[in-house]
Structure 1
Amino acid sequence: MPTGFRLAVSFAALALATTAFAQSSAVKPERIRGEIVSFGGSTLKVHRRSGETVTIDMQASSAVNAVKAISLSDIKPGSYVGAAAIPGPDGKLTAKEVLLFPEAARGTGEGHYAWDLGANSTMTNANVDTVVQATSGRDLKLSYKGGTNTVTVPADAPVVTLIPATRAELTTGKKVFVVATPATGGTYQGKFVVVEKDGVAPPM
């Protein structure tokens, strides 16, 4: 794996978690989900799911990656994953999506914390201890510093991994997931972008 991609993936994993990044930043980063309106020069315009269109300044250091759909069977004991999940009435976590991190990103953003994919959603970045077939999917037993979680992954939950992408792929109509910090005049400074590729939209 090229060094540049290793660095981009490592930062992407850190930004996905945002916890460590937020601790060292005076301005808390935001996760922006939506569809590309346009991209030209260093200016990315995104129509957010919430309805408004925002302007994002893509800096030289802004990383761009995409996601590739994989099978849940690609996740094995020893894999390092990020699982966004929502608790059921019984408190058990059901995954909304699972990201298999490349090995270069192992350990970044480790932990269990609140997420904003849906009401009461959480993110767990952790090592996979066991994978067990369950009645409603597969149960991943995850361990991280300070705790463990079991997350059920339904058959219809997106399972993806990060792959390299370029700014040439930031084209109108594609779905994106952006971590950015608020700047002056209502604009944002982009830290990294995950862009739709081959019809696979970023599910995180």
Structure 2
Amino acid sequence: MTRQKMLTGILLGALTLGSFAVMAAEAPVKPMGILRGTLTEMSGDQLQVTDRKGAKHEVTVTSKTGFVAVAQGKISDIKPDSFIGTAAAPQPDGTLKALEVHVFDPALRGSGEGFRPWQGADGKVGTMTNGTVGQLVNANGRTMTVKYQNGEKKVVVPDDVPIVTLSPGDKSLLKTGAHVIIFPDAGTTKPVVAGRMIVGVNGTIPPM
């Protein structure tokens, strides 16, 4: 091998390694998804949350973090004109089968209104529908229409589906042992900056 070929090979190798280094440096970091877990430690605005797989996450609460309290509800809390949300699974006949229903306090009416994909705590992708209850049939659970901006869905709610209520909250909801769902600020990686937190009261585990 001539000296010129050797130098050329070394140069090409260096450029290749450099290209990989630049690609690694520029590769976007995947934003943190929804975090579900238990509040295990607190120190001022710094929290430690242990997720449902046992991994620990550092979470920062800011003055802009919103709080919602979730408490146990009952199926009779679902009434015509209630504003509700439901994680659900599509059915062959075009209806949705509710996996849980959360009934919003009137002060939270309109929160997240619409129909969209939703990944549940088990990792399965279903749907989330937030809207106003229209027709409601009380037989073998509940069958209801849920109306949102540009459409509506027919949702079947079996008797054994978890029902919870959501109401406005504040930082005082944060207590060691509370079950939480954290929606990170846009673009958050690690540590997590909490944009919104749903916090279970009296041991309630948010089912959504």
Superposition TM-score, scaled by structure 2 size: 0.75
Contact preservation (8 Å) 1:194, 1:202: yes
Change in CA separation of 1:115 and 1:177 when aligned onto 2, cut-off 3 Å: same
How far off its partner does 1:68 sit? 1.8
1:86-140 Cα offsets, whole Å, 9 max, x none, are 12455531111111112222223211100111523110011100111244x2111
Work out the percentage of aligned pairs sharing the same amino acid.
37
What stretches of structure 2 of length at least 5 have no aligned partner? 1-29
2:191 aligns to what?
A: 187
What stretches of structure 1 of length at least 5 have no aligned partner? 1-26
- 1:82 counterpart = 2:85: yes
Provide the rounded CA distance (Å) in 2 between the counterparts of 1:46 and 1:169: 14
- 1:120 counterpart = 2:104: no
Residue 172 of structure 1 is aligned with which of 168, 172, 176? 176
Provide the rounded CA distance (Å) in 2 between the counterparts of 1:90 and 1:51: 38
Moved over 6 A (4+): none
Change in CA separation of 1:142 and 1:32 when aligned onto 2, cut-off 3 Å: same
1:1-35 Cα offsets, whole Å, 9 max, x none, are xxxxxxxxxxxxxxxxxxxxxxxxxx967321111
Equivalent residue of 1:73, what SS? helix
Contact preservation (8 Å) 2:39, 2:177: yes
Change in CA separation of 1:69 and 1:53 when aligned onto 2, cut-off 3 Å: same
1:13 aligns to what?
A: none
- 1:162 counterpart = 2:166: yes
Q: Read off the aligned partner of 2:191 and give its amino acid letter.
A: T
How far off its partner does 1:158 sit? 1.5
Q: Between Structure 1 and Structure 2, whose CA radius of gyration is higher? A: 2
> What is the RMSD computed on CA atoms of the aligned residues?
2.1
- 1:100 counterpart = 2:100: no
Q: How many residue pairs are counted as aligned between the two chains?
A: 176
Provide the rounded CA distance (Å) in 1 between the counterparts of 2:126 and 2:159: 19
Equivalent residue of 2:57, what SS? strand
2:135 aligns to what?
A: 130
Equivalent residue of 1:172, what SS? coil
1:152 aligns to what?
A: 156
Superposition TM-score, scaled by structure 1 size: 0.77
1:27-56 Cα offsets, whole Å, 9 max, x none, are 967321111121111111111124421111
